[in-house]
Each structure stands twice: as C-alpha cells, then as structure tokens.
Structure 1
Amino acid sequence: MDSRPLLLFDSGVGGLSVLAEVRKALPQAPIIYVADNGGFPYGTKSEAEIAARVPALLGRLAERYRPRLITIACNTASTIALAAVRAALDLPIVGTVPAIKPAAEASKTRVIGVLGTEATVRQPYVDDLSARFAADCTVLRHGSARLVELAEQSLRGEATADADYAEALAGLLAQPGGEAMDIVVLACTHFPLVADRLAAIAPRPLAFVDGAPGIARRIATLTRDQDWPVEPTGGSIVFTASLDIPTALVDSLAARGLPRIEQL
C-alpha cells in the first residue's frame, strides 16, 4: 500500500469541481485539498503577486505532506505560475488550463466564450490556446471576480441572486458576436460549482465546458502504475489562514469526501 496523497491546490473551494472528477477516476486515492484562503482571491491580484506566492506555498506544502503529485486546480495560478512550480519541485505537477480545445471542437456557430477571472482571461496563454485550437472561431472573453464570490457563498449555504449570475454572463453575451455564442468555457474552477445557475438564467440554451474531466484523466495516467490503499480513504482540507467555517460549509466539504479540516 502506498499512502502518499494527491494534493489539490486552489485559492478557495473552486478546485472541488476538479476533486469531483478525480474521485470518479481514482476513488481510492488519499486526498489533501488546500484552499489558500490567506491569498484569496487570486483573480484580482497581479501576475507578480501570484508568481511569488504560489511556488513558495506549494514548496511548503510538498515538504509537509509529501504528495505523489500536485494539481494546481486553479486556472489563474496555472496560467501564471505553473512553469515556476514545475522548475522548483521534483514531482509531477498537473496544471489547469481553459478548455478552449473541446469547446472549439463542439461549437456549431464557431463563436465561443471564455468566462474566467480577470487575471486568467488577459493571459497570453489564452491567446495561444485560441490560436492553436480555435483559429476559425470568434473567442469572446470576460473576467468576473463576482462569480468567484458567488461560488464561495453558495458552498457556504448563503443565498445568491439571479441578477448577479446574469450580469456575469452578460459580459460575454453583450459583446459583438455574443448573440451567436453557443458554448461557454468555464475558465475558473469555481465556476462549474454554479454552472446550473448560469444555465438557468441564460436567455437561450448554452453549453458549458470545463477542464476537470481532462485533469482527472491526466492524473490517472501519471499514476497508472502506482499502488493505492486497498480501501477508499477520506480526505482532508487545509486552509492557509484562520477561517470561521459555517456548518453548511463543513457539511458540503464532508459530502465531497473532505471530513477533516486543518489550518496550515
């Protein structure tokens, strides 16, 4: 039995959308989920701040938890700091990138939207993905810090207003060409947690895609020949700063296989 965990890292609870797919692919994998609430939110920070914080923090986490693999379950951190983390740590690092390729493959109208944080949608990495995989598409982008907050609030059991989701989606639909958009890339791991709300307020049917299934497949491939505990094990969630955790959030985390809560 190899008890080394998989470590999933995000600025908050958005990476739980990735965790759900990892659980399906590797149900016996021990999980350490890290929410960097001490640095939250990433999407409104500068590239320099994220590039300095993420590699240093992941270095501490790798030393403490000795994971077999780290997944940066955050589009913003991945598009800015993935290369630096891989250079600093001697273990497999899986990043998260906007699912532009599958969106372009599925789009009928050849107009796709990329809904992420402000920090993600402005990255040259998104330009490169669009040029490589969606050259014949119109790619609209919109950054929404508010949608990250809504996902966090929803998981805490707090009520959120339809108008806020409509405003985030309107950032794409109101752009020139937005009337033809048929697929939206959820380029922040928080956003799949509220995809049902986005779909419900959309003025017409839209498809939503994210990168979580591909991430889970990549993790399964990289760990294909490794041993796992015989029985599925519960995971832990680690917060990087003190946090007043409401009962609804404790219940949500336990329901996702994270019954143990720690502070770094």
Structure 2
Amino acid sequence: MTSSLPAEPAIAADAPLLFFDSGVGGLTVLDAARALLPDAPIVYAADFAGLPYGEKSEAEIAARVPALLGRLVERYRPRLITIACNTASTIALPQVRAALDLPIVGTVPAIKPASEQSRSRVIAVLGTEATVRQPYVTNLAREFASDATILRFGAPELVRAAEMKLRGEVPDPAIFDRAVAGLVSQERAVAIDTVVLACTHFPLVQDELARAFGRPVTFVHGAEGIARRIAYLTRGQSFVGNGLRFVATGPAGDIVPYKPVLEARGFTSFDTL
C-alpha cells in the first residue's frame, strides 16, 4: 500500500504579485520585476499613513508591517509578497514570514554586490536611520565585506525628497548635499568608491546624489537581484488579467499627486486600505 502527499493547490492565474513599501520607493523594485515578468498582475501597496518608516522604532515597524500585510492578503489573495522596503525587511521580515503562509521576498542592503565591485575597499551605506543601525547590516558586512571599511549614514530626508520628485516637485538640493556630507565627513571617506543605496527610495534620486558627490562613485542597489528572485519563485506559473493596481493607507486624496507617474507606469486602478 502506498500513500502520497496531497497535491499543492493550483495558483490562480490572476493571483497578483504584491509589492509593499512605506511609500513609492518600491517602484524601483517593481520596475525591475516587470522587466522580467511583464504579464504579471500587480498590486502595489504604499503605507502613506505610516511614512516614513526610517524614523519609527523597531517595535512600531515590527507590529505595523505584519498587520497591514495580513489585511492586504485577505483582500487581494496574492501568490507572493515582496517587501520592497529595506527598513521593513531588516526589522519585520521574520514576523511576516511567521504570520503568512506564502512566499515572502525581502529587500536588504546590497552589500554583497557592492563588495564585489569595490576596488578601494571603502564602501558607503546610505539608508534610513532605522536601517543603517540594524545588526542585519553589520552581519551582511561581516559575511560579504569583511576586508572592507563600511561607512554608514542615515539620511531620512532623502525619502521625502524622492516622494517629492515623484509628485512632480523639485527637492531642495541642500538635502542631497547634507546626505553626502554625512558620509564624506567620516574618517577614510576620501577612498569611497561604491555607495550602497540601502533604501528603495534612494535610486529615484541617484542623479541628484551623484551631483552632490561631485566625483565618480558607483551606486549599487538590490532591485535587479530581487526581481530575479521573484522570477525564480514564480517560474512555470501562469499570469493573466488584473493589470496594475495601486492601494494606499490614509486618505484617497494622498494618492492624487502621484497619479501621473503611476499612470505612466501602467497603473489603472487606485484604492485605499
């Protein structure tokens, strides 16, 4: 007599990929994922009511993120969740994985690829205050860049600057000057050749940061690696329908200034949680 395990339930072809961030920084990850999976139905969730995460306590984030994702899973029934936020991932990823029974992809500072590229062995990590102080970052540096000097700086103003830019506003250039000054004022900073953008918002203002540096540096972030991971976890699955949907916490009016850039990316549905 033989027995077999029950078959895994089929994944509905219209089950979306869910991307979650405190704001619109996760669009940098979504753009990379759509380059590999152009037919995938998408739900992008922005926690505008909780923005910015980088200035919140670990306890607040560890409680807020799993609760919000639980509500989103009930409403949209995704096949996979991507936490497209370094702060939320470095703090709340274990709690989310414990709470939800589906694949969860996190976003962590791209220290490994930065170490592979750096020649001077002085690497800057630019993130939110909550991200750069995490032991997770220390562990990544120890594992993948033990021979390098890692200089960290928390620049929460850059989150607001990126949000402003996507709303069509022009951020004050002094914001970028202050972020760069926070790095280059540190000991050994003259040898920085690689900068890890350890917040998904920051690639949106990479050009402005490059201007503020005033000399060649290589910027590294993890969007393409995350996209490859999403593609691997959904290999062989079918995608159909539903298009791109945007949902945010807070008042519906908060979405309005972002609609031009969202519609340009193909979003056609807007809702609040």
**TM-score of the pair, normalised by structure 1:** 0.96
Partners of 1:42 and 1:74 in 2: CA distance? 9
* Residues 22-171 of structure 1 mapped to structure 2, 5 A cutoff: 22-171=33-182
- Which residue in 2 is equivalent to 1:181? 192
Instruction: Encode CA deviations 1:11-31: one digit per residue, 9 max, x unaligned.
Output: 001100101101101000000
Partners of 1:65 and 1:179 in 2: CA distance? 48
Which amino acid is 1:168 matched to? Answer: A
Which amino acid is 1:112 matched to? Answer: I
How far off is 1:170 after superposition? 1.3
Which amino acid is 1:147 matched to? Answer: L
| CA-atom RMSD in angstroms | 1.3
Partners of 1:141 and 1:9 in 2: CA distance? 25
- Alignment partner of 1:237 is 2:246: yes
Partners of 1:247 and 1:202 in 2: CA distance? 33
Q: Secondary structure at the match of 1:38?
A: helix
- Of 224, 235, 238, which residue of structure 1 is paired with 2:235? 224
Give the stretch that moved more between structures: 180-189 or 170-179.
170-179
Which amino acid is 1:113 matched to? Answer: A
How far off is 1:200 after superposition? 2.0
Structure 2's unaligned 5+ residue stretches are: 1-11
Q: In the alignment, is the contact (CA less than 8 A) between 1:156 and 1:246 conserved in 2?
A: no
How far off is 1:247 after superposition? 5.7
- Which residue in 2 is equivalent to 1:257? 266
Partners of 1:197 and 1:98 in 2: CA distance? 20
Whose radius of gyration is greater, 1 or 2? 2
Q: In the alignment, is the contact (CA less than 8 A) between 2:196 and 2:220 conserved in 1?
A: yes
Give the stretch that moved more between structures: 120-129 or 196-205.
196-205
Partners of 1:228 and 1:259 in 2: CA distance? 18
Partners of 2:216 and 2:62 in 1: CA distance? 38
Q: Secondary structure at the match of 1:128?
A: helix
- Of 167, 185, 210, which residue of structure 2 is paired with 1:199? 210
May I ask how many residue pairs the two structures share in their alignment?
Answer: 262
Q: In the alignment, is the contact (CA less than 8 A) between 2:14 and 2:239 conserved in 1?
A: yes
How far off is 1:248 after superposition? 5.1
Structure 1's unaligned 5+ residue stretches are: none
